[in-house]
Amino acid sequence: MTSRPDHLNATTPIRIARPTRDLAAAERFYVGGLGLEVLWRSTGESFADLLMLGLPGAAWHLELTRPHQHAVAPTPTTEDLLVLYLGHPPDSALVARLETHGGTRVPAVNPYWDTWGVTITDPDGYRLVLCHTEPPQFRDRS
């Protein structure tokens, strides 16, 4: 049996960081389409422009960056998934809004996600899965 490290717990904040080609297009998709909020915006900094998106008070956020000094192109694969467990089928209006705001509905590579969700690529090609199910419940193995 392994013990849980003192520095990690169920509410440890998480940042998911990704490069983007176009911060405005990403903002349209994730804010206008999905409904996230802009938590922080920084432009003109010496290293990169950035946009932090999420929900106020959540222990996670999505950080999108556009570096100034070196080009970092997004390189998503079909397995780079951001899965949202909705607990119900996504509303067709939400899917349509995501498409209107720059997303493209695509078939999933893993058929599980087509059975239990809808997969949409963001403007950079990263995949967002709107999953019908509740999140998996993992046993506490401590």
Instruction: State the Cα angle at 81 between 75 and 83, rounded to 5°.
Output: 155
Q: How far apart are CA 19 and CA 48, in angstroms?
A: 10
pLDDT computed for residue 105 by the predictor: 98
pLDDT computed for residue 135 by the predictor: 82
- Is residue 94 within 8 A of residue 120, CB to CB? The reply is no
What ranges do the domains of the chain cover?
14-131
pLDDT computed for residue 47 by the predictor: 78
14-131 belongs to which CATH class? alpha beta
Mapping DSSP to helix (H, G, I), strand (E, B) and coil, where does residue 11 land? coil
**Model pTM score:** 0.89
The partner residues of 53 in beta bridges, in order of sequence, read 38, 62
- Is residue 63 within 8 A of residue 52, CB to CB? The reply is yes
Averaged pLDDT, groups of 10, the chain, 142 residues long: 73 91 96 97 82 94 87 89 94 97 97 95 97 78 49
pLDDT computed for residue 2 by the predictor: 63
pLDDT computed for residue 34 by the predictor: 98
Encoded tokens for 62 = 């999505």
pLDDT computed for residue 9 by the predictor: 83
